[in-house]
Amino acid sequence: MTGMQPDLRQAARTADSLADGTVDALMGHLPLDAALVHLTQANRLMAAWQKNSDLDPGNWNTDGIDAEVLAAMTRYVTAARALPGWADPVLIEEAESVFMDHGPLSCALLFCASLPACYQMPQLAEVLHLSGQLEQHTEHRIRQTAAMIFPVMMKGGLGTAEGGGVAQVLKVRLIHATIRHLIMQRQAGEAAALKDERHRTWCRHAWDSQRLGVPCSQLELAFTLLTFHCVFLQALRTLGLGLNPREEQAYLHAWNVVGHVLGVDDSLMAHDMDAALQLLERLGSFQVDLAGASDPRPALGAALVGALSRSIGLPVVRHLPVPMIERLLGRTAARRIGVGPQAGSATRALFAVAMAVTGGIDRVGRWFSPGFSVTRMFTRVIGYHMLTRFLLDQTRPLALPKHLLTQMHATVRNWHSDTLAPEWLNRLEDRLTTTGHWLATPPAHGGRP
- In this prediction, residue 383 carries a pLDDT of 85
- Amino acid of residue 386: M
User: Does residue 98 sit within a domain?
Assistant: no
d(CA 250, CA 248): 5
DSSP-assigned states of every residue in 385-404: HHHHHHT--TTS--SS-HHH
| 291: in domain | no
Q: Do 367 and 329 share a structural domain?
A: yes
**Domain for residue 292, yes or no?**
no
Under the phi-then-psi rule, with left for phi > 0, alpha for psi from -120 to 50, and beta for the rest, what region is 287?
beta
In a domain? residue 265: yes
User: What pTM did the predictor assign?
Assistant: 0.88
Domain check: are 316 and 279 in the same one? no
d(CA 359, CA 373): 8
Q: For 191-202, b where at least 16 C-beta lie within 10 A, e where not — what string?
A: beebeeeebbbb
Q: What total number of domains does the chain contain?
A: 3
Question: 236 with 243: CB under 8 angstroms?
Answer: yes
* Domain match, 276 and 303 both: no
Q: Is 290 among the domain residues?
A: no
At position 384, the amino acid (one-letter code) is Y
Statement to judge: residues 119 and 57 lie in one domain: no
Q: Is residue 85 part of a domain?
A: no
d(CA 5, CA 31): 41
**Residue 131 sits in the same domain as residue 54:** no
- Using only the alpha carbons of the chain, give its radius of gyration: 22
Maximum separation of any 2 CA atoms in the chain, in Å? 70
Q: Does residue 130 fall inside a structural domain? A: yes
Looking at residue 41, what is its pLDDT? 95
Same domain assignment for residues 118 and 255? yes
Q: How many helices (H) and strands (E) does the chain have?
A: 22, 0
**pLDDT truncated to tens, each residue of the chain (449 aa)?**
445 677 888 998 999 999 999 999 998 888 888 888 999 999 999 999 999 999 999 999 999 999 999 999 999 999 999 999 999 999 999 999 998 888 888 888 888 999 999 888 887 887 777 755 554 567 777 777 888 888 999 999 999 999 999 999 999 999 999 888 888 766 555 656 666 656 666 666 667 777 778 888 999 999 999 999 999 999 999 998 899 999 999 999 999 999 999 999 999 999 999 999 999 999 988 766 655 567 888 888 888 888 888 877 666 677 888 999 999 999 999 998 999 888 888 888 888 898 899 889 888 888 877 778 888 888 888 888 888 877 777 666 677 777 788 888 888 888 888 888 888 888 999 988 888 888 754 444 333 32
Q: What angle do CA 235, 239, 244 make, to 5 degrees?
A: 75
How many Å apart are CA 26 and CA 75, to the nearest integer? 12
Q: Do 428 and 379 form a contact (C-beta atoms < 8 A)?
A: no
Residue 11: name the closest of 207, 224, 198, 297 by CA.
224
Residue 391 C-alpha from the chain's centroid: 13
**Shortest CA distance to 26 belongs to which of 36, 15, 38?**
38
In Å, what is the CA distance from 361 to each residue of 59, 367, 389, 423? 56, 10, 30, 16
Q: Find the domain containing 197 and state its range.
A: 8-14+111-284
Statement to judge: residues 262 and 376 lie in one domain: no
How many whole angstroms separate alpha carbon 198 and alpha carbon 206? 14
Predicted local confidence at residue 444, as pLDDT: 43
Based on the fold, state whether residues 358 and 256 are members of the same structural domain.
Answer: no
Reported as half-sphere exposure (CB side, CA atoms, 13 A), residue 94 has a value of: 16
Report the distance separating Cα 336 and Cα 331, nearest Å: 9
* Structural domain ending residue among the three candidates 80, 96, 120: 80
Rounded CA gap, 415 and 153, in Å?
Answer: 15
Residues 50 and 123 in one domain: no
Residues 70 and 188 reside in one and the same domain: no
Nearest CA-CA partner of 124 in 325, 321, 290: 290
**Contact, 154 vs 96, CB < 8 A?**
yes
Whether 277 and 405 map to the same domain: the answer is: no
Q: Classify residue 443: in a domain, yes or no.
A: no
Contacts of 156 (CB under 8 A, 6+ apart): 96, 162, 163
Do 146 and 277 lie in a common domain?
yes
Give the whole-angstrom CA distance, residue 433 versus residue 203: 44
CA distance 124 to 105: 25
Distance of CA 305 to the CA centre of its chain: 16
Last residue of a domain, one of 25, 60, 80: 80
